[in-house]
A = this chain, B = another copy of it.
Amino acid sequence: MTDERATVVSRRLARTLILVGEQIKASFAESVESLGMPVPLARTLLALGAPEPMRDLADHLSCDPSHITGIADRLEERGLARRVAGQDRRVKLLEITDEGRAMRDRIIAVATAGSPTTRLDPKDRELLLSLLERLLDDGADESARPVEVSAGR
């Protein structure tokens, strides 16, 4: 491959990624809106595994800690999460509720169905997944691990 061709591909890829990113964001927003969920609440629900200090959650979501307060308030209002006291009495853990888990499952199902990736055949989806996972910040998120799909038994 010539350097020139590589440059053309790189620039076109950068531009395409931005477009795809916007499309993905719009598609996700539309999906969760159909469930009556604002995007930040949906994102937080997806990020919520084990009960987690609000401060850690802010790091995990790459936002300011003060922002988590409002999100936690709204999740509690909806019964999707609750604050629980930590050992250190300054700390509050945010814990997903059963109702929250049910909503999270619905979000995943709807977002999956509405994703533009439904245009690809299964083989290409798997290929795309492996390429994208290599793009993610290493170690920044557990999803950055190499593809390793526990093949349907």
Let me know if B134 and A131 touch, CB within 8 A: no
Let me know if A129 and B18 touch, CB within 8 A: no
**Contact of A71 with B by CB under 8 A:** no
Minimum CB distance partner of A12 in chain B: B129
Check A136/B14 contact, CB under 8 A, given A126-B9, A152-B4: no
Minimum CB distance partner of A2 in chain B: B152
Q: Cα distance A47–B15 when bound, in Å? A: 10
**A122: B residues at CB distance < 8 A:** 1, 6, 9
**Which residues of A (100-131) have their CB < 8 Å from a CB of B?**
108-109, 111-112, 115-120, 122-129, 131
The A interface is mostly helix, strand or loop, or mixed, namely helix
Let me know if A18 and B24 touch, CB within 8 A: yes
Copies of this polypeptide in the complex: 2
Q: Cα distance A16–B140 when bound, in Å? A: 13
Q: Cα distance A153–B149 when bound, in Å? A: 41
Let me know if B149 and A14 touch, CB within 8 A: no
Let me know if B135 and A5 touch, CB within 8 A: no
Interface residues of A (CB under 8 A from B): 1-6, 8-26, 28, 43, 46, 62, 108-109, 111-112, 115-120, 122-129, 131-137, 141, 143, 149-153
